[in-house]
Structure 1
Amino acid sequence: MFEPLGRVDQRRWGAVYLRGLLLNGGRKSVEPMAARLGMDGNRQALAHFIISSPWDPAHVRARLAWRMQPVVKPTALIVDDTGFLKDGDASACVTRQYTGTAGKVTNCQAGVSLHLASDNASAAVNWRLFLPESWDPASSKADAAKVARRDRCGIPAEVGHVEKWQLALDMIDETRSWGLEVPLVIADGGYGDTAAFRLGVEDRGLAYAVGISTTTTAQPGDARPCTAAYTGRGRRPMPSYPEPAKTVKSLVIAAGKQAARPVQWREGSRPGTGRSGHKRMYSRFVALRIRPAGREIRKATAGVDLPVRWLLAEWPATSDEPVQFWLSNLPENTPLPVLVRTAKLRWRIENDYREMKQVLGLAHFEGRTWPGWHHHVTLVSVAHAFCTLQRLTRSPKETAPA
């Protein structure tokens, strides 16, 4: 992993830092790791390597992706973001913003990640640190105090505010530039609700299965636009649909609960009645063909028919209405179980975040610099990949819990 690092001492301290992340113990910041590393526990050298040493994490991430691609055998790229909670305001890009980590608006950094994923394994191979508008001197919402801290935090002058969905597209492009071609992108509603993200994925020739909110609007799949008669005055009327677009929730409710079909998408980790002795992950789902609406999509289609897409909704037998929605451009002949398994594969990224945060110290970095954050999350990703390799190469007896 560290062969691209230019100096011998960088490669050495990279390996030491990685061992510090993998060792049992509590907090995985520099000082407690140094205490656990014995003779290699040079706190100053570790801090210099991770915070200010001039090595490019992109080279390590590319090697990580190449190493994990034949192991994971990815069927999808999953993108998401996670919060790094902070008490102070000196860390790069920290601000008050919403994060699912805390479930509320709080003081934090936000990192966007991209993961190779399949049914059997996943690996985080790319990262971006989200820079809020308050940190961007070119933004009308710039905060003078935060802009003044950019130099101390080592934020490159060319880095400005970019929306998270665009950061995700940039990471997809970079990952493909490494020679990894994965034909499917999965994301939650934070990305799926943005039409520009979906259109960007389609422009790259990729399929997607993304979460959407209940208020997303669409026309039924069999709806067709019509053009009003021209009166001879003014502009010729543009084609339009005879009925206004409806929310996806109302479309599913109109189809009725009887349209829901039972699907089991995988077996979980808890004891249950599945074939492997684990609990079955099971629910009921409705799949409809719809035409997503919205200003950006109408502009992209230039007045012709809106494209037909899959709307997938989870409607449990115990619920009076559907509880979760996805949109996908997978082919029309895609079976319902495939749609469900594809949409539900996003559990992999939640599992990765949990392992990296609870065991490998993803959120324990105490440095305040832009390079330090990128170095730390890259090393944690390598540590997580090492654990994944160990888990996949050992026999079930070796990896069974005590």
Structure 2
Amino acid sequence: MSVHAVSDTASCPLQWRLFVPQEWADDAVRRQKTGIPQEVGHREKWRLALDILDELAGWGLVPPVVVADAGYGQNADFRDGLSERGIGYVVVIRSDVTVHPHDVRPTAPAWSGNGRRPQPRYRDKPSSVAALAACHGRQAFTEVTWREGSRGPMRSRFLVLRVRPAGVRSRRLAQAAAAAGHGHWDGVLPEVTLLVEWPEDAEAPTDYWLSSLPAGTPPAELVRLAKIRWRIEHDYRELKHGLGLDHFEGRSWTGWHHHVTLVTAAHAFLTEQRLAPKADTAGSPSTRSSTPSRTC
């Protein structure tokens, strides 16, 4: 798995981690043959992502916002890990994620004075983001243009709602946050933004994101960030098909890391060449014979 720096015009891998399945981590023979370091074991991909972000922070590279696909966005622990690090996020989620409306508050029955004091909780069942979006109707969605594509402006229809993600894990994380601050949890789940896309030609909403950015973030900015992963996916195709990222057939830990390092360096060089001024102009890499090429 990898973490990339990305803008509207380019992306570049910053760091990689090789995921080690549990069966490999527990297999001493495999570990010896492939040279997996002793300190490396099985670690979930979302934890590897946070590990990379921590390492990058040590280099002075703290992202203003993280975008991620549903493999990470679905995970409340990952989202909470970003929030604990002060990093905003706009992440993809599935349509079956359940949430409460932002203005609903938990309540607790009156305490009789006997037994354990009742804890506050949400009395109404949460709804899936798909159901919540559908109940607002197509008329609640607004057209947003987020970039210029090869065939013209990229636009679709979106809905922005403030919600509170439900589920046992969300409650546990909120309780843990209260405990860490030596406070009493009041039962209120954290509030985030739900972004939903419903294209004009679709029968129902098609895509969903959760964002921890401030409530006043303009919808156009939310959409731009939600859609910016296209840039990484585009460059991933170049990494794979043009530079051989997925052509590695070695069988060693060191070999794989050498391979991805060289592919990343080649991609950074090509990215610079593509974005830099053309030859025979001031600042062009082709005319800077004595100046080392910049890297991402």
Please indicate, yes or no, whether the TM-score normalized by the shorter chain is above 0.5. Answer: yes
* Distance in 2 (alpha carbons) for counterparts of 1:233 and 1:243: 26
Instruction: State the Cα distance separating 1:230 from its structure 2 match.
Output: 1.4
Mapped contact 2:96–2:128 kept (Cα < 8 A): yes
Deviation readout 1:44-75 (Å, 9 max, x if unpaired): xxxxxxxxxxxxxxxxxxxxxxxxxxxxxxxx
Mapped contact 1:267–1:281 kept (Cα < 8 A): yes
* Distance in 1 (alpha carbons) for counterparts of 2:141 and 2:147: 18
SS at match of 2:66: strand
Matches within 5 A, 1:1-400: 112-137=1-26, 146-268=27-149, 270=150, 272=151, 279-302=152-175, 303-304=185-186, 305-395=188-278
SS at match of 2:143: strand
Paired amino acid for 1:285: F
Specify every segment of 5 or more residues in structure 1 that has no aligned partner in the other structure, as ranges: 1-111, 138-145, 273-278
Paired amino acid for 2:277: R
Instruction: State the Cα distance separating 1:231 from its structure 2 match.
Output: 2.7
SS at match of 1:374: helix
RMSD of aligned Cα (Å): 1.6
Instruction: State the Cα distance separating 1:232 from its structure 2 match.
Output: 3.0
* Distance in 1 (alpha carbons) for counterparts of 2:211 and 2:34: 40
* Distance in 2 (alpha carbons) for counterparts of 1:208 and 1:386: 28
Mapped contact 1:134–1:147 kept (Cα < 8 A): no
Instruction: State the Cα distance separating 1:378 from its structure 2 match.
Output: 1.1
SS at match of 1:129: coil
Instruction: State the Cα distance separating 1:234 from its structure 2 match.
Output: 2.1
* Distance in 1 (alpha carbons) for counterparts of 2:124 and 2:89: 28
Instruction: State the Cα distance separating 1:348 from its structure 2 match.
Output: 1.7
* Distance in 2 (alpha carbons) for counterparts of 1:354 and 1:161: 28
State the TM-score, normalized to the length of structure 2: 0.88
* Distance in 1 (alpha carbons) for counterparts of 2:111 and 2:8: 55
State the TM-score, normalized to the length of structure 1: 0.65
Instruction: State the Cα distance separating 1:242 from its structure 2 match.
Output: 2.1
* Distance in 2 (alpha carbons) for counterparts of 1:352 and 1:299: 38
* Distance in 2 (alpha carbons) for counterparts of 1:255 and 1:167: 37
Paired amino acid for 1:328: S
Q: Alignment length, in residue pairs?
A: 271
Identify the residue that residue 86 of structure 1 maps to in structure 2.
none
